[in-house]
Each structure stands twice: as structure tokens, then as C-alpha cells.
Amino acid sequence: MGKLFGTAGFAFFSVLMAGATLLLSASQLHAASAKSNYDSKCAMCHAENGSGKTPMGKNMNVRDLRSKAVQRLSNQQLEEIIAKGKGAMPGYASQLSKAEINALVAYVRELAKEK
């Protein structure tokens, strides 16, 4: 009986570890996808670091995504801006899934931490 429990316990532990590894991999993949989407859709104006200090960003007077004013916006507000656009910024609802938009919001939050 003790040997059976030991084997079952080991199997359960193995399944938990495999699940954790898959979740970590999915999380890393999600972050990489968010960076890729940011680089292709946002960085031209908002800069790689979110500062807005690009020729296009300066011309359009875009906000620094790392600023307190932007970071105070709720996730829902940021999602709406990304989805629908704002001012001269186009919306991306037709090009990005809700999950991708949520990942971009998380990426914008991370940019502020790196400032």
C-alpha cells in the first residue's frame, strides 16, 4: 500500500510539474507575442521603450506610455484605446484578439516598471 501511494504521489507530482511548465511556457509565449505586437503596431510612434520619443511620436505628440497619467488608466480604458483607437491612433480590434489586446495592456504596464 505504501509503495502504491508513493508511485501515485510521484505520478501526481509529475503531472503538477508538467502543468506548471506548460503554464510558464504559455506565459512566456504570451509575453513574446505581446512584445512582437507592440513592436509591429505601437513602437513606430510610442518608441520601443514607450517614451513616445520617435519622429512620428513627436510629430503626433503621443503620450509617454510609462507616464503616471497613462498608468493611472484602468486596464479596461487601455483595452478600449487599443481596440478602438484614439485621436490619430488607429484601432486594432479587427487585427488583434481580445487576449492579444489584454497582453498589450500588460506589456504597457511592464514598460512603466522598466523606466
Which of helix, strand or coil describes residue 25? helix
Number of domains in the chain: 1
The answer as to whether 19 is a domain residue is: no
Provide the grid cell at 73: 488608466
The answer as to whether 88 is a domain residue is: yes
Q: What is the pLDDT of residues 78-112, one digit of tens each?
A: 999 999 999 999 999 999 999 999 999 999 999 99
The answer as to whether 11 is a domain residue is: no
Backbone CA torsion sign across 84, 59, 57, 42: positive
Domain that holds residue 110: 32-114
Q: What is the pLDDT of residues 98-107, one digit of tens each?
A: 999 999 999 9
The answer as to whether 55 is a domain residue is: yes
The answer as to whether 81 is a domain residue is: yes
User: Using the 8-state DSSP alphabet, how is residue 64 labeled?
Assistant: P
Q: How many CB atoms lie within 10 A of CB 18?
A: 10
- CA separation for the pair 21, 44 (Å, rounded): 34
Task: Identify the CATH number of the domain in which residue 59 sits.
Answer: 1.10.760.10
What is the value of pTM for the model shown? 0.74
The answer as to whether 22 is a domain residue is: no
